[in-house]
Structure 1
Amino acid sequence: MRRIDARSLRGLAHPLRMRILEAIELDGPATSSTLAARLGENTGTISWHLRLLAEHGYLEEDPERGTKRERWWRIPDRTTLDPSEFLDDPETRRALDVYLRDLVERYYDRVRAYLDEDWPAEWQRAAGLSDWRDLHLTPDQLHSLNEELAAVIDRYTAGTAPATTADARTPDRTPDRTPDRTPGASTPERAERVIVQVQSFPRRS
C-alpha cells in the first residue's frame, strides 16, 4: 500500500482525475476512449489526465492489454491518505479540501444511485443504511475501530470470509471486482457487486 504524499495529493485533487480513477477502481482497466465515453469527455482530455495520474503513481500501463494504437491503464496498488500530514501546508490543504469534498459528494451519489435503483427484496433486506450515535471514543479508540472495520472488509475482499449456506451450494463463476489484481479470487454465482461505505467521525455535543 502506497502513502499519498503532498505532491501526489496535489496531482490527484481534480474532479475529473478523481472520476477517472474511480471508474478504473470500479470497472477495472480501461482505455482513454472507453473512459471518455463513460464520463462524457473527449479522448484528448482524458488521455492528458491519465498520463498525469500515471506520473504521480496512481496508474500504470497494462502491457498485456495494450496495443500500438491504444493504451490500457490499471491501478498498480492501493493508496492510503493521512489528512493530518498536510495541516501545516496551505497549498496542500487546499488540495486536500478539494479531494475530501469530492470524495464525500461521490459517497452521497452512490447512496442516491442505490435508492433510485429497483433492487429485489432480498437485496434490500441485506443492504443497510445505518448509523450509531451513542459512541464516545478517544482518537486512539476511533483509529482502532476503523482498523478493525477495514480488517473485516479485507477478509471479504480476499474471499476468506465464511460463506452462507446458499453461497456454499453455488459454484464459483466470476472473479473479484479487480480480477487482474486478484486472479485467484472468485465469488458465488448469485453475487452482485457491492460497495461498502463506512462513515465514522466525532461530533460536537
Structure 2
Amino acid sequence: MYPYSKSVSPAVRTHLEAQNAFLNDVSKSIFNSFQQFSNLNMQLAQTLLEETTIAGQQLLTADQHPDVAAVASRAQPVADKLRAYQQHISRLAADTQVDLSRVTEEHVKETTQTANALAQEVARTSAEDSERNIQKQEESIRQFTDPFNKNNGKRGNSGNTVHAAGASMQSGSGGNAQGGSPESGKNSGKPA
C-alpha cells in the first residue's frame, strides 16, 4: 500500500496497514454520517423556507384582515416537520452508532492479531538485543581484566620487590625521623 523502508519489519508493516484500514473505514462511516446530517439540515432549511414563503404570500394576498386561523394552520405543519427532523436525527445517530460498531467488529480481530504479532516480535527482538548487550558487556569486562591477568605474574614479583624496598625504607626512615640515626632514637628516650 505505502512504501516502507527495508528496516521496517513485516509485523510492523502488517499492523500499520491493519490500523490504517480500520481508521479509513471509521472515517468513511463518520463522513457518510456527516453528509447525511448535512443533507437533512439542507432539506429542513429548504422546507422551512418554502413554508415561510407560502405563509408570507398568503398573508400578503389576504383581504383586509388576515385570518388568524389560516396563519395558525401554517404553524402546525412546521411543528410536524421539526418533529420529523428530530426523528431523522435520532435515526441517523443510531445508524451511525451501528455502522461504527460494525466497522470496529470487522477490524478488531485482524488488528488484535497484528498487535499480538508485533508485541511478540518486539519481545523477541528486545530479548535478542539484551542478550547481545550482555555478551558485549561480558566481552568488555574480559578484555579489561585479561591484561591484568597476563601481567599478574610479572607484576607480582616486581610488586613484592617494590613492597619490600618500601618496607625497608619505612623502617630506616622511622629511625631517622626521631633522631637522625637509630642510635639517637635509643638515646632520645633518656632524659638529658
Q: Same fold (TM over 0.5)?
A: no
Larger fraction in helix: 2
Larger fraction in strand: 1
Whose relative contact order is higher, 1 or 2, with alpha carbons under 8 Å and at least 6 apart?
Answer: 2
Q: TM-score range by the shorter chain?
A: under 0.3
Between structure 1 and structure 2, the one with the greater Rg is: 2
